[in-house]
Amino acid sequence: MQDEESLVRRAKERDEAALTQLYEENFDKIYRYIVLKIGDRTEAEDMTQQVFLKAFKSISGYKFKGSPFSSWLFRIAHNQVVDYWRKKSKRATVPLDETFVGSSNSNPSSETERKMDIENLVAATKQLTSLQREVVSLRFAGGLSVAQVAGSMGKSEGAIKALQHSAVVSLRKMLATG
């Protein structure tokens, strides 16, 4: 954490090596987080770029408070995603994967273990509550620990563990019936 603090300090002084390191360490995590939230890989690329552009332009206002720098990036990414869906809904379009519905007569125990694909996963996470979805996105796509997710969402670790558990139970059911 000490290293990241000094890295961020240098980045705030517009040190290109530090900015590049922060970019390299976080770009893929933010990209995965956005892909899971919107389900469009090409759009997610552009949005990830926007997240970093915004973050680095306003990095001088960033205050290090002990949580990882990525938490701040995820917050920007979250706002970006909210904005994306707001605009998308204004255009009255329906995402293709929103039609995901599982058949009810499948055998959950035998089908859960099969390899899922990204479209199914995105569709399944849409059925979760917003808190569950956020936990899954930060934990599995963003690669944050439970403690980091808790810090990022302003909740206790116990609450995050409970949300993680209920989210995975729901995902299993949905993916098994998909």
Nearer to other proteins, 101 or 147 (CB): 147
* Closest distance of CB 69 from other proteins, Å: 14
Nearer to other proteins, 4 or 112 (CB): 112
* Closest distance of CB 173 from other proteins, Å: 9
* Closest distance of CB 167 from other proteins, Å: 9
Dihedral sign for Cα 152, 125, 51, 91, please.
Answer: negative
- Measure the CA–CA gap between 103 and 99, rounded to whole angstroms: 12
Nearer to other proteins, 82 or 101 (CB): 82
| SS3 of residue 52 by DSSP | helix
* Closest distance of CB 76 from other proteins, Å: 6
Query: By the criterion CB under 8 A, which residues form the site for other proteins?
Result: 14, 16, 19-20, 23, 27-28, 31-32, 35-36, 41-50, 52-54, 56-58, 60-62, 75-76, 79-80, 82-84, 87-88, 91, 109, 112-113, 115-118, 121, 136, 140-141, 145-146, 158, 161-162, 164-165, 168-169, 171-172, 175
* Closest distance of CB 101 from other proteins, Å: 19
Nearer to other proteins, 104 or 110 (CB): 110
Q: What are the CA-CA distances from residue 166 to residues 75, 99, 123, 133 (Å)?
A: 23, 23, 17, 11
Amino acid at 144: L
* DSSP symbols for 59-95: GGG----SS-HHHHHHHHHHHHHHHHHHHHHHTT---
Helices then strands, each counted (H, E), the chain: 9, 0
